[in-house]
Amino acid sequence: MSISDNIQQIRKELPSDVTLVAVSKFHPAEAIEEALAAGQTVFGENRPQELEKKAVALDGRGISWHFLGHLQTNKLKMVLPYASLVQSIDSEHLLAEVNAWGARNGKVIPVLLELHVAAEESKQGFFEDEALDILFRADSFRNIRFCGLMGMATNTDNQDDIRADFGRIKAFYDYVRDLFPEYTDFRELSIGMSGDWRIAIEYGATMVRIGTAIFGERV
């Protein structure tokens, strides 16, 4: 099926209040153009140079860019001028540098804290107690808007393991929202990718990040 067909098929199953983030990493601008023609406006990129290049090339097209990958602090200038949401804040050091960049440039940066729950040690992110410590000090990050959590399940075909990971992320998300009702922007739960987004919907995802099921295998 075409990119347009894939998007329409996903939207038939996706609740209307869930944001579809089309993960366009490694795919050319032409593929993004086809997705745009199908009404898709939110795109996710993992590499700073690629996001910057595409954002410049497609400026004025009404695209909302989300950054999803590990962000090195020396690459902030390639991402923060363009990204409407940084989903992958995975360390306090990065958070502090993003906050400092925002202060220097007169911007408040919307972010999600990336939670580490997957079995793979290679996954980035905070443990629950680390994320909680930051949220207790949220007022000290004046150029950050804390918008919610991002996470991914263990890379496995075992649906019980996937459900356990999503359940843990959702439980922490609910706990934070109950603990800090004053954080009115904290309402996004970005979980679920091409292989498990339907399960993520069951666990309250407000955003799903889908690449392969829209664009096909990476080129």
Domains of the chain: 3-215 (3.20.20.10)
Work out the average pLDDT over 127-132. Answer: 96
Residue 106 or residue 154, greater confidence: 106
pLDDT of residue 3: 96
Work out the average pLDDT over 42-58. Answer: 97
The amino acid occupying position 199 is: I
Find all residues with CB under 8 Å of 214, minimum gap 6, and list them. 3, 6, 7, 10, 22, 23, 35, 40, 194
**Hey, what are 88's tokens?**
């992958």
Residue pLDDT, tens place only, 72-105? 999 999 999 999 999 999 999 999 999 999 999 9
Work out the average pLDDT over 176-183. Answer: 97
Work out the average pLDDT over 1-25. Answer: 96
Does the pLDDT of residue 219 top 70, yes or no? no
Nearest-CA neighbor of 67 among 50, 131, 115?
50
Count of Cβ atoms closer than 10 Å to residue 178 Cβ: 8
Residue pLDDT, tens place only, 135-166? 999 999 999 999 999 999 988 999 999 999 99
Residue tagged 């739960």 (tokens) = 189
Does the pLDDT of residue 118 top 80, yes or no? no
Work out the average pLDDT over 116-143. Answer: 88
Residues in the chain: 219
Does the pLDDT of residue 124 top 90, yes or no? no
pLDDT of residue 218: 67
Confidence grade of residue 36 (pLDDT, cut at 50, 70, 90): very high
Does the pLDDT of residue 122 top 60, yes or no? no
181 dihedral zone (left: phi>0; alpha: psi -120 to 50; beta): alpha
**Hey, what are 73's tokens?**
């602090």
- E strand residue ranges, the chain: 19-23, 42-45, 64-67, 83-89, 109-114, 144-150, 188-190, 207-210
**Hey, what are 23's tokens?**
């993960």
Confidence grade of residue 1 (pLDDT, cut at 50, 70, 90): confident
Q: What percent of the chain has pLDDT over 90?
A: 91
Q: Long-range CB contacts (< 8 A, 24+ apart) of 62-70?
A: 63/32, 63/36, 66/21, 66/42, 66/209, 68/21, 68/23, 68/25, 68/44, 68/150, 68/209, 69/25, 69/45, 70/124
Task: Quote the crossing angle between the two packed helices 48-57 and 29-37, to the nearest 10°.
Answer: 60
**What's the whole-model pTM score?**
0.95
pLDDT of residue 117: 85
What integer best gives the mean pLDDT of the chain? 95
